[in-house]
A and B are shown apart, each in its own frame.
Chain A
Amino acid sequence: MTNSKRVGRTPSQEPVAGNGLINRRVLLGHGIAIAGAMSTAGNITGAAAEPLKDPEWSLQFGSTLPPVQIASPYEKHVVRSLSNPNGEFRNSHARTPHHLLGGTITPNGLHFSIDHSGVPNIDPAKHKLVIHGMVRQPLEFTLETLSRYPLVTRINFLECAGNSAPMFSKEPLQVTAQAIHGLVSNAEWSGVPLSVLLDEAGIDPSAKWLIAEGADAHFLDRSVPVKKAYDDALVAIYQNGEHLMPGNGYPMRLLLPGYQGNMNVKFLRRIKVVDQPAMSMFETKTYSQILPGGKTWRFHFLMEVKSFITYPSFGHSLKEPGFYAISGVAYSGTGRIAKVMVSADGGKSWGEAALQGPVHEKAFTRFVMPWRWDGQPAILQSRAWDEAGNVQPLRAEFVAARGEASNPVTTPLVFPNQHYNSLTSWGVDSKGEIKHVYA
């Protein structure tokens, strides 16, 4: 949808796709271009601003500083949603409120978390990590010793294989991006490359697998290819600059960038080097998938290219026609995001969104698409490509290959299947109300 007749027009006035999408170059322009984009729709309300007065909070001494600051009381609603709010004796999930966040880094308190047997209360001075099995010399590490290694810092998303599972429903659930996509987050992780520790123990060249095990009450274990350890695996000890959150694996966890969340074993206490996978309960049952026709997928490590719009989305409403910056996140377990296309007419036409750099590999990239809403119904979608050329599948393609739930899905808390990476569509009606739709 490139416009070859740009002469004499500012980028801001240039439609790039149907239903009001504007060329992303407006975001790169100077004040005049942006002002142009916004003013073209006119001042809808027409109401003049009122004379200014000093507000009450400016007229008294404020509060002094706490040792650990938390969000403003006006942000009390920005919280994780819980699958087990009453502390029942079972697993629990806490989902990231994507529809209420901006940027790319998920604050530690809002990073998603899943635990299958409660969060252990680990004393870091007593926690140990051992590496053994097919090695020359078994070794034991502590948080203190790992802290003395040259650490590597990088930004990576972490996604549960079951994220977005409500979209296997035949009917779109009327829930927020948090409820649908809240089991992915993005953080800066610092740790020791696992390859350094394996080399130190002297790994047997014929070893193909590692069994990584946590210190939780399930001793949760997953098999990881040695190949991944020598690609980009870390034993992470910092999350966004502070030690890991308890629900994210304190005091140390495996970080396998781009691989399904459950493999990134938390509370890491043991790595056994072996010649075959363990076929642990979590890898052969929970995090393996049934395909249409009844075959099953085993060792589906990769979280594939995906994106979703966070604003505007279900839970928001558009107060008036005019300019809006559509925004969301894109990521791929394969590498960097190369391109995100956005549609405002349910996929009939597409415009390329601006990517907010720097674009890291296997990390959230925020995309922005300028849009002038004319007050008519619209369907907003995003579709991502990664640098390897992988593209987020259209829903029809995805469902044809991967199927839909045969049973009605009545709550976003269930997992009819896993590894959903198709498009998310938000339907805007003429009142500015937003529904989750399939398109």
Chain B
Amino acid sequence: MSMHKPLSALILAVLFGVVSALVQSPKLGKLISESDIKQWDIAILPDGTNLPPGSGTSAQGAQIYAEKCVACHADGGKGGASPGAGPLVGGAPLTNGIDTLKTIGNYYAYATTVFDYIRRAMPFNTPRSLTDNEVYALTAYILSLNKLINDNDVMDAKTLPQVKMPNRDNYIIAYPDRI
């Protein structure tokens, strides 16, 4: 990886047909600080990196769900109350076939993905409107519906990455040489 700079110059020259590798980048990027990027910096990594402060429980999540989620995802996360809203619970074993419906219960590898996706994309018509505590609570509710945590477990930056998802280790990296 220490070869990035010479490598990129070489690629510029060879692949992109730039006349001379000496062509300088105009360097027009404007300096910005990480603190000014903070509101956008929402990606959560599977080891829990970037999880925000806050916490929530399944019971708290159930109340928020009834208010903001049930219209599309239906009672108990069964899904189907709106055309695009799939189930949040259940899921057949993946040995049932290559077209088995993928769910949080049978397919997700990391619980952090649930938090990340709710926080960035839900509710569908008002994304980014939930507080971090609400996102923790909804994540706890959905994980407990799937019996992946106990009803009273508190989800926060420390506990969420420790939730073991059933499909975590059941994978093959398709192109390891491309990573």
Residues on A facing B (Cβ under 8 Å) = 88-91, 117, 130-132, 137-141, 145-146, 148-150, 152, 154, 168, 193, 195-201, 203, 205-208, 211, 213, 217-219, 221, 225-228, 230-232, 269-270, 272, 274, 276-281, 284-286, 288-302, 402-407, 416-417
Contact = CB atoms under 8 A, between A and B. Distances in A.
A294 B170 contact: yes
20 contacts: A88-B83, A89-B82, A130-B37, A150-B18, A154-B16, A168-B99, A195-B8, A198-B4, A199-B25, A221-B120, A276-B45, A276-B46, A278-B116, A280-B117, A281-B113, A292-B98, A297-B174, A298-B172, A298-B173, A417-B98
B98 A290 contact: yes
Interface stretch (B26-34, B61-69, B142-150): B26-34
A91 B84 contact: yes
Interface stretch (B51-59, B121-129, B151-159): B121-129
Given A219-B42, A416-B99, 15 more contacts: A90-B85, A117-B127, A145-B30, A197-B29, A198-B8, A199-B8, A227-B179, A232-B11, A269-B40, A272-B43, A281-B116, A294-B94, A299-B174, A302-B178, A406-B97
A405 B97 contact: yes
A228 B177 CA distance: 11
Given A226-B1, A300-B174, A402-B98, A132 B37 contact: yes
Contact of A295 (B124, B127, B128, B171): B171
Given A300-B175, A302-B178, A284 B110 contact: yes
Nearest to B30: A140
Ordered nearest first, which 9 A-B pairs have the shortest CB separation?
A90-B84, A139-B29, A406-B97, A195-B8, A300-B174, A416-B99, A294-B95, A294-B94, A145-B28
B120 A218 contact: yes
B78 to A, nearest CB: 17
Contacts of A300: 174-175
A295 B43 contact: no
Contacts of B99: 168, 290, 405-407, 416-417
B100 A207 contact: no
A294 B93 contact: yes
Contacts of B121: 117, 217-219, 281
Interface string B86-105: 00000001111111101000
A232 to B, nearest CB: 6
Contacts of A140: 29-32
What is the predominant secondary structure among interface residues of chain B facing chain A?
loop
A150 B27 CA distance: 11
B24 to A, nearest CB: 10
A243 B160 CA distance: 42
Interface residues of B, number: 68
Given A230-B8, A295-B172, A280 B113 contact: yes
A406 B172 contact: no
A265 to B, nearest CB: 12
Nearest to B29: A139
A32 to B, nearest CB: 40
Contacts of A90: 82-85
B21 interface: no
Contacts of B22: none
A101 to B, nearest CB: 28
Given A138-B34, A193-B8, A219 B127 contact: yes
A132 B109 contact: no
Most buried by A among B43, B45, B109: B43
Contact of B170 (A270, A276, A295): A295
Contacts of A148: 26, 28
A145 B25 CA distance: 12
Given A90-B84, A168-B98, A149 B26 contact: yes
A289 B94 CA distance: 11
Given A197-B29, A231-B11, A219 B1 contact: no
B104 to A, nearest CB: 8
A302 B175 contact: yes
Nearest to A302: B175
A290 B94 contact: yes
B45 A278 contact: yes
A404 B170 CA distance: 20
Contacts of A89: 82-84, 124-125
A199 B2 CA distance: 12
A296 B173 CA distance: 9
B162 to A, nearest CB: 15
Contacts of A404: 98
A205 B120 contact: no
B103 to A, nearest CB: 9
A322 B178 CA distance: 48
Contacts of B43: 211, 213, 221, 272, 274, 278, 280
B47 interface: yes
A318 B140 CA distance: 60
A308 B177 CA distance: 28
Nearest to A234: B16
A133 to B, nearest CB: 9
B12 interface: yes
Contact of B44 (A150, A269, A278, A289): A278
A296 B167 contact: yes
A296 B94 contact: yes
